[in-house]
Structure 1
């Protein structure tokens, strides 16, 4: 569904740009034609700029250092381009370009489940999927739909994917989630049933033993300041310190967070303040200068996941 919506948006913008240029170019108003074309092609650029200004203004974080103006500007430039690539090409037109990878010889290998965030689909992980396939790592990437549904409604999707990976490999998978996907994974863990046999999880809760750990990337574990402007059910659930995130926290044993690795950045323009992406007792890792989508392309994040998948006995 999301891919269809985003395709419609892309075609609408292309039609507007064509009409704009058809009107002004015959009049030789070159600068006006160019300015209008840029505004139509990059309507998100000023919105992103506002997000970064708000991020800087509301920073009250003792746990994470304040980003410099230069770092925020560089992150904004990257995010403008990344939004075009992800929302203007990859997700609308390439959501099925990379198939799940469960080869016949997957038994005994560690697999990974990839869970995307808000207003995204599985194509957000396309670069990861190509690299994982080249490295011989089994994976499944899910689509969280309906797009604007309550976060807990995604639990059956995650459950089905975990079961599929566990059957194919005989091992519990590593779970990697971006943005809202981290909350969906936590909601799944909070309501998941123990695994009926399978790989042993010594000295851990039988629910936690269903995964080899959870990696979150820019996830609003305590909500995000920006969600106060959200109107959909799932954005309202992500409000900073809101009822939904607090209720989820109360359902979780504190020891569970030790199985999480939480990547976060002081330049995250969607999930801020940055400390909201951290969990107490987790392996919290700060990647300076990275915007929200940019964290998905950070070499250290992928390298750490690949190391865990390929580690002997990992």
Structure 2
């Protein structure tokens, strides 16, 4: 639960393929009751008809519109939304504005199901796509912030399910039976709550640096 002594960041939620912000109603209600300010964006089109870069641009415009320039916020992406969120962070400057980034059931290393579509956005989520390979070349950028990937071994939309596992940040396995259920599963909501209330990595690094400096000055 949110620490009463800390001011929680607002949270922006990004949906997946074929979804709208409606998929986040359970999560939005859950987090709002805990005191969080929750925002969600219905990206358009949501069917893969445009490249994911275009959707990420919508995220950048929306975030700039609703958050003051100096307002830090947390970002959460479900499925395709996690990949769109990564492009926003890694290519559009979002890494300078976001403290925590959580993905749920996102195909970070591609999914075989994307081979069933010739839509540009779907093709970018294929295993071996140039788009994902390019993002994964500098994924260490995500280590600057609190990054968490939540995944399920039973996820039949992300094939293989292990595609959601990342070599940076934190991976949380929650055995949800169906892909679409992950955005509302109680165990997932609890994990999201815990990650949103976790101490910031950047702040811990700053405090450790100050501690080291003080110790060196005492020598």
Q: Which category describes the TM-score, using the shorter chain as reference length?
A: 0.7 to 0.9
Determine if contact 1:165/1:173 at 8 Å carries over to the other structure: no
Q: Distance in 1 between matches of 2:37 and 2:61?
A: 16
Answer with 217-226 or 287-296: which moved more. Answer: 287-296
Deviation of 1:311 after TM superposition, in Å, equals 6.0
Shift of 1:312: 7.9
**Is the partner of 1:215 in helix, strand or coil?**
strand
1:278–1:129: structure 2 CA closer, same or farther, 3 Å change rule? same
TM-score (norm 1): 0.56
2:90 pairs with 1:163: no
Partner residue of 1:222 out of 109, 130, 134:
109
Which residue in 2 is equivalent to 1:62?
A: none
Helix, strand or coil for the counterpart of 1:261? strand
Residue 234 of structure 1, CA deviation: 0.8
Match of 1:213, SS state, is: strand
Q: C-alpha separation between the residues in 2 aligned to 1:255 and 1:308?
A: 19
The verdict on how the C-alpha distance between 1:164 and 1:132 changes in structure 2, with shifts beyond 3 A counting, is farther
Q: Which structure carries more strand by proportion? A: 2
Equivalent residue number for residue 51 of structure 2: 150
| Contact 1:257/1:279 (8 A) holds in 2 | no
**Equivalence for 2:181:** 294
Post-superposition offset of 1:305: 2.4
Q: Secondary structure at the residue paired with 1:293?
A: helix
| Deviation, structure 1 residue 146 | 1.9
User: Which string of whole-angstrom CA distances, capped at 9 and with x for unpartnered residues, describes residues 54-111 of structure 1?
Assistant: xxxxxxxxxxxxxxxxxxxxxxxxxxxxxxxxxxxxxxxxxxxxxxxxxxxxxx5411
Instruction: Trace 1:119-268 onto structure 2 (pairs within 5 A).
Output: 119-147=18-46, 148-167=49-68, 171-193=71-93, 208-250=95-137, 252-257=138-143, 259-268=146-155
Higher percent of residues as helix: 1
Q: 1:312 to 1:178 in 2, by over 3 A?
A: closer
Alignment RMSD: 2.3
Higher Cα Rg: structure 1 or 2?
1
Match of 2:179, SS state, is: coil
Secondary structure in structure 2 of the residue aligned to 1:266: coil
Q: Which runs of 5+ in 2 are unaligned?
A: 1-6, 204-219
Count residues in correspondence: 192
Gaps of 5+ in 1: 1-107, 194-206
